[in-house]
Chain A
């Protein structure tokens, strides 16, 4: 089964899910490491969606463009929550509540994409999704080593990886 762009995104949704579960159930001292991984992963993932995938949906007429616009708005909201959490010590007492807000926002957002946006892309733009797959894969691949890079750096690295895949 050749993996199209949506399959690649779904794979990361699964990974994002797992990390949210892991951090939610971890002892405070054990949150740091998966939290670092999740932060980088979220920035990479949403950047790829915004740069490559939502634009495909935005080119569709039957309401799909509006569906995609709603998704972008959710991503902006989630990014704001992520930014606020950046300064919170993951071992602190204030972390769980703010983290749960982010978790709810991100997981609902992913569910919305899977329910309202991706099925339409698969139904109407399957060729485009397949053609985009190498670039999506390259962009998402940045998530494998984001280290402590700040979001701006991560976004640049994603853009570069996508450009290289084009070349």
Chain B
């Protein structure tokens, strides 16, 4: 566990460095006044938390100043940490990968380039590493070489893959994959889908159809529908989450590319405004660069002294 903590902190060091650095700078030796709150507000905005979440956090801090009679700006540091932790702790950030009735099926969806295929590969490796029998479904039949990309991941993770040719009906791939999962009695089926903008009604209908087909073939499935979100995404991430949730029974979010400098403020906005929880975070392009999302660790890592 220490290893994991260290790794996460390491990966998030950029995030932590920036936010902590800023927050520390803002509170150190300052008196609590409007100018200080303005600076704090800017720092939170800069993390892509969004205007609404930011304002609600700043309001909460202002209240804390009154109720707890805080005089010293440095005391706000703890209050901010509390406020952030509280907002993430509302959700369930775990996934139960076991189904008590046949294969456990997961649908992976998201906008173009968010990291779906890579995440599918990482998840396959993770589950296979837990001695589960894993199968992949290559339902991105649209993007050039998408199937080849997932095939390479199936090799890396040493798991089987169900695929049709490019241009095939993705729903029929999903159906066949579900069929195969049942026939081969696998533990987990992960279905990678094509990237699509949430504004394209026909493509969202296609996703719904994929979900329907899986459900029909294996009642109760898909057990998880994971939305893959790029952490560099700004406020549109919230719109994406909302639209995908309207189309599918989204059960959780995977936040990718947290190894960059994007601060992942979306995690707060999405949890708070939509009640959808982050389940895993992507912290690199390697097969092991996937970590369970833990709100406490996340906030701690965000605030720990460098």
A and B found bound together = no
Chain A interface residues toward B at CB < 8 A: none
